[in-house]
Amino acid sequence: TAMLLRDGGQGLEVFMVQRTHSASFARSQFVFPGGRVDEADHADFEPVCDGIDDATASSRLGLVAGGLAWLVAAIRECFEEAGVLLARHRDGGGIVGFDAPDASARFASARREIHAGRRSLVDLCTAENLLLLAGEMHVVAHWVTPVGERRRFDTRFFVARAPEAQEPLHDDNETIASLWVRPADALARW
């Protein structure tokens, strides 16, 4: 699960998406973008991850190995569900923005292809000469659903600064609405 943060007019804001009314878990609820660690997230991502390798990621997460896959999954889910790609240009050109000519359409197409499993995140990074900002993802919490629940989840929560030149937007598939909200306001609405 990834909590995207930004400085808003009234202070710190977090991006949330509303799950579909037919979701098997937390239906219709506002949540942070997230999902599961897929098999593809265990690919060789070290060459396209900036600032962290699997050993360091695993150590931060209290795992023997495979920690980088959790970070990659959070980045991928953010891209699929919220349209935010936490990446920078390999050549030092800065954080990826979708405001350049044709960038918005190109990355929207890549988002759909990755979500459908027709393209990998590694392929996108290679084609666009990008590095995922996995080293900028910070661990916030690790929750496991209590024993006795019908479905159990083992979830790690990460926080990252939202890129300025990307406007998050729900995917109209798994999520049906989205908003930036101050954490205190989100709790009050709940």
> Beta strand 2-8 with 154-161: parallel, antiparallel or unpaired?
parallel
Sign for the pseudo-dihedral over CA of 4, 165, 83, 180: positive
The whole-angstrom separation of Cα 183 and Cα 173 is: 25
Instruction: Give the pLDDT confidence score for residue 75 in this predicted structure.
Output: 97
User: 103-115 and 67-82 helices cross at what angle (nearest 10)?
Assistant: 120
Name every residue whose Cβ is closer than 8 Å to that of residue 171 and which is 6 or more positions away in sequence: 80, 81, 82, 83, 111, 115
Q: Report the SS3 class of residue 59.
A: helix
> Beta strand 30-31 with 11-19: parallel, antiparallel or unpaired?
antiparallel
Residues facing residue 31 across a β-bridge: 17
Q: What is the pLDDT along the chain (190 residues), one digit of tens a residue?
A: 999 999 988 999 999 998 888 776 767 788 999 989 999 999 889 999 998 999 999 999 999 999 999 999 999 999 999 999 999 999 987 999 998 878 889 999 999 999 999 999 999 999 999 999 999 999 999 998 888 877 788 899 999 999 998 988 888 778 888 999 999 999 998 8
pTM: 0.92
With CA atoms as reference, report the closest residue to 110 among 86, 74, 89, 83: 83
Residue 56: exposure state from Cβ atoms within 10 A (0-12, 13-18, ≥19): middle
With CA atoms as reference, report the closest residue to 45 among 63, 76, 80, 69: 69
Q: DSSP letters along 109-172, please? A: HHHHHHHTTSS-HHHHHHHHTEEE-GGG-EEEEEEEPPTT-SS--EEEEEEEEPPTT------S
